[in-house]
A and B are shown apart, each in its own frame.
Chain A
Amino acid sequence: MAAGLPRRIIKETQRLMAEPVPGISAVPDETNARYFHVVVAGPEGSPFEGGVFKLELFLPEEYPMSAPKVRFMTKIYHPNIDKLGRICLDILKDKWSPALQIRTVLLSIQALLSAPNPDDPLANDVAELWKVNESEAIRIAREWTRTYAMGN
Chain B
Amino acid sequence: MLQYLLNLFGGLWHIILTMFGLGQAKPAVSTQLEVFVRTNTGEKVSVCLDPSWTVQQIKTTLAPKLKRNSHDIRIIFAGKELPDNMVIQQCDLGNHSFLHAVIVVAKEDGAANSTSDSAGKGTTISHINEISNSTSSPAVEKKIATSKEIEDKPHCSTNEVSENCAIQPTEVRNCQDFPSTKTATLLCDASTVMAIQLTEAELKAINELKSVDGSNERPYFYVYCSKPCNSVQVGKLRVRCALCKQGTLTLHRDPCNWQDVLKEGQISGTCETVGCNGNVAEFFFKCRAHETSGEDDSSVALYLVRANLPAIPCLACTEVSSPVVVFECEDAHVMCLDCFVTYCVSRLNERQFTRNLEIGYTLPCPIGCQDSLIREVHHFKLMGDNNYERYQRWGAEEAVLAAGGVLCPYPGCGQGIIADEDCRRVVCVGGCGYVFCKLCLQGYHIGECEPEGGGGPNFVGGSGTFAVDPTRAAGSRWDEASSLAIRVTTKPCPKCRTPTERDGGCMHMVCTRSSCNFHWCWVCQTEWTRECMGAHWFG
Contacts and interface: CB of A to CB of B under 8 A. Distances in A.
Contacts of B7: none
Interface in B278-331: 315-319
A151 interface: no
Interface stretch (A4-12, A28-36, A134-142): A4-12
A99 B342 CA distance: 14
B368 A7 contact: no
Contacts of A11: 318
Interface string B354-395: 000000000000111000000000000000000000000000
B318 A65 contact: no
A100 B443 CA distance: 48
B343 interface: yes
Nearest to A12: B318
B343 A82 contact: no
A22 B118 CA distance: 86
B534 A124 contact: yes
B367 A65 contact: no
A98 B339 contact: yes
A46 interface: no
Interface residues of B, number: 18
Interface string A57-84: 0000010111000000000000000101
B313 to A, nearest CB: 10
B7 to A, nearest CB: 55
B342 A65 contact: yes
Contacts of B199: none
Contacts of B317: 6-8, 64
A147 interface: no
A65 B335 CA distance: 12
Contacts of B346: 62, 65-66
A104 interface: no
A104 to B, nearest CB: 13
B538 interface: yes
Contacts of A8: 316-319
Contacts of A64: 316-317
A124 B508 CA distance: 13
Given A82-B538, A124-B533, A98 B343 contact: yes
A7 B342 CA distance: 15
A47 to B, nearest CB: 23
A64 B339 CA distance: 9
Nearest to B367: A97
Given A65-B343, A65-B346, A99 B316 contact: yes
Contacts of A97: 366-368
B537 A65 contact: no
A65 B319 contact: no
Contact of B366 (A6, A82, A99): A99
B318 to A, nearest CB: 5
B523 to A, nearest CB: 15
Nearest to A123: B537
Interface string B331-345: 001000001001100
A84 B506 CA distance: 11
B534 A99 contact: no
A99 B533 contact: no
Interface of A: 6-8, 11, 62, 64-66, 82, 84, 95, 97-99, 124
17 contacts: A7-B317, A8-B316, A8-B317, A11-B318, A64-B316, A64-B317, A65-B316, A65-B343, A65-B346, A65-B347, A82-B538, A97-B366, A97-B368, A98-B316, A98-B343, A124-B533, A124-B534
> 6 tightest A-B contacts by CB?
A98-B316, A65-B346, A99-B315, A8-B317, A97-B367, A98-B366
Given A65-B339, A65-B347, A97-B368, 9 more contacts: A7-B318, A8-B318, A8-B319, A11-B318, A65-B316, A65-B343, A82-B538, A99-B366, A99-B367
